[in-house]
Structure formats: structure tokens, C-alpha cells
Structure 1
């Protein structure tokens, strides 16, 4: 899997209120942050300074921002930032406010790293009263964009790097803990056996909630779900997601159970459940 985590961008940029997070989620954030620091050699001091508006003119630091956008799937092949994709990844309640800033940030640098750096710098300048979060301050709701890669990316995960496996395990434990679903029920669902189990449906709803792609009443946000798929899977994923829509059950959790069942039946060879 090429994307380590869509949520990485929030380690450097966030346009939402500051909430607390659990220890497991902190571990997840640290893994994502460390991935881009490890790939680029960016200085943590520079990252911290950027939260206060001080964007150092340093190539490694610039490439850290490109790494974040790459993980989101928001850099185009020619090295430009897909601003609409960035907006689509944000929670619905802040998209209007964020879009008025993000859509003005069209600067292009000498290379893709500088373009990503300029975009983040523009984001921060456009909303100076909404500070960039530290990893310790990131809200749980923003963490789940990675889940779409695990739940409905319509690509088989054949082998995973250690850090990616840790991310999956953390998200899995979080939603198992919240719902009390059995590991047996999850394993059966991976094979197409979707038992009429309320806890299994709520587990699936928990995963979708983590990525901000389902409403409280269990209606799938199809556009948001498609938008966070890796680009190479969007065409195939869109066909399945739009064809299935939201299957309506007796409650929001059953909606997710029936919808996941539809996804599996539409693409059994590609379906994957965290």
C-alpha cells in the first residue's frame, strides 16, 4: 500500500477546534508524523515553529509538507496541490470556512516540495487565528481518514510495512473497544459472511466515523468516501460506492453492515475490512 496515512496532514495543518485524544491515537499520530520526518529528515524544531507562522526556507522541511500531501493523495502527478481534494478530506462542519482559505492558495514553487510548502504557508497565513495543531492536540475525528484505505479501498493488502500494520492495529483496537465486536465476526465478514450482528455493524460505522464519511444517522457520504481513495482506485471504487449508496436497515449500524455487504458482493476479490 503506497499511502501511509491520509491523516498525516493534520500533524502540520488543522482548521478545527482542539480536542483531547487517547493514548492509542497519540501512538497513531506519532507513527504518521515519524514517517514523513524519517523520509525527509525535516527538523522537528522547524515543524514546531511553523505552527506559529515561521516557515523556514529549508529543502528537507519543504519536502516534509510534500510527504504529508502525498500521504493524503492530494499531490497531482505534475507536482501541484489538489486543493479540492484537501477540502474533501476535512470534516463537513469546517469545510466552508476552510475552503475560503484553501482555494486561494494556488502558488507554485520551483519544485513539488516548494509548492507544498507554499500551500501550507498560505493556509496558515489565511487563518492565523486558527493555529496549526501539535500532534498532542489533534482531535480523534481527524485521524480516521486512513481508515478508508483499510475498509473500502478496493485493493488487497498483501504485505504491509511495520508502521502501517501498527496503524491498522491501533484503529482496529479502537473500534473493537468501542463496540465490543468479536474478532470472529470481523474475520467472517472479511470472507463474505456478514452475520446479522449489531456489534459488527457498529464496528463498521465506527471505522467510517473515524474518516468522517458517515452521518450520525448512518448515511454514507459517497463523495467524501470516493475523495479519500487513492487516485488509482477511485474509478473502480466510485462504481461500487455509488451503486451501493447507503443500504437502509433498522438503525445506523445496520446501514453500515448492509452497505459493507453490498461492497463485498460488488467486488469480493478486492474487499478488505480492518
Structure 2
């Protein structure tokens, strides 16, 4: 589960404390900043979502969609790209545990690609007992 957790949680925040290269961290920071700017979501709404407090904010859903797309976790049609998620997992994660979370969450759907990203992230949050603390 840690692998999927690292990928998904980091996709919505800044930088994980371990498991990512400096280049990957820099890309994620840029994605985060780009998606904040393009969606104009309130940073506090994103911070609350990272703590498991989800609101039905359209801008938050667009933020998740933006992050998923930039990370390659979702294609233009809104389909979750499981192979990309697995490919981007750090080497130190338990792949079998991560696969359980992926299997539980990959088929979550919303009416739009952004809503699908939102539903997948919420599923991850509920399916993963340990959440990564971000810097």
C-alpha cells in the first residue's frame, strides 16, 4: 500500500520525505503549483483533502484531475493508467500490498475525468491505513 500511497499522496502535495529522486520531487512541486494556479482551488481545501477531509468543491476535483493527468495516472478520457502507476512506484514499496489498493480503487468513476480522479483519491485514502507525511 505504501507505493500507491507515495504516488497518490505526493501527487497532491509537495514532496515525500523518501523514495523519490530530487528530479521527481521538483516535478511534483511544479505540478502542484501549476494545478493550484490553473484551478484556483484554495490551498486549505487541498490540505484538508490530504488529511481525509473531502469537500464537494468543483475546483478541488479539477485540481485532482490536473495532478493525475500531469503525473500520467489518468489519460485524456479519464481512464486510470494502472501500468503507469505501477511503473512509477519506488523500489522500496511492497508491490503486493500496493496492488491491493490499486485493485480496490482503479475502477472508481465520476461523471468527468476530474471527478474520477477525485473518487480514486478518496478510495485510496480509505483503503490505505498509513498515510505519508509530507514536507
Equivalence for 1:123 = 124
Deviates more, 1:76-85 or 1:25-34: 25-34
Number of matched residues? 124
Equivalence for 1:36 = 35
Rounded Cα–Cα distance in structure 2 between residues aligned with 1:102 and 1:69: 14
Equivalence for 2:48 = 49
Gaps of 5+ in 1: 1-6, 137-274
Rounded Cα–Cα distance in structure 1 between residues aligned with 2:69 and 2:51: 23
Residue 27 of structure 1, CA deviation: 6.2
Residue 116 of structure 1, CA deviation: 0.3
- State the Cα RMSD in Å: 3.0
Equivalence for 1:113 = 114
More contact order relative to length (CA 8 Å, sep ≥ 6): 2
Q: In 2 relative to 1, CA 60–27 (structure 1 residues): closer, same or farther, beyond 3 Å?
A: same
TM-score by length of 2: 0.75
Rounded Cα–Cα distance in structure 1 between residues aligned with 2:31 and 2:46: 14
Equivalence for 2:80 = 81
Deviations 1:140-179 (A, max 9, x none): xxxxxxxxxxxxxxxxxxxxxxxxxxxxxxxxxxxxxxxx
Rounded Cα–Cα distance in structure 2 between residues aligned with 1:28 and 1:73: 12
TM-score by length of 1: 0.40
Rounded Cα–Cα distance in structure 2 between residues aligned with 1:11 and 1:85: 13
CA contact (8 A) 1:109 1:118 kept: yes
Deviations 1:203-226 (A, max 9, x none): xxxxxxxxxxxxxxxxxxxxxxxx
- Taking the TM superposition and a 5 Å limit, the aligned residue runs for 1:178-197 are none
Residue 109 of structure 1, CA deviation: 0.5
- Taking the TM superposition and a 5 Å limit, the aligned residue runs for 1:156-195 are none
Equivalence for 1:100 = 100
Rounded Cα–Cα distance in structure 1 between residues aligned with 2:119 and 2:102: 12
Gaps of 5+ in 2: 1-6
Deviations 1:79-134 (A, max 9, x none): 1212232122111331332221012111110111100000011111100x321443
Which of the two has higher C-alpha Rg? 1
Q: In 2 relative to 1, CA 102–32 (structure 1 residues): closer, same or farther, beyond 3 Å?
A: same
CA contact (8 A) 1:101 1:126 kept: yes
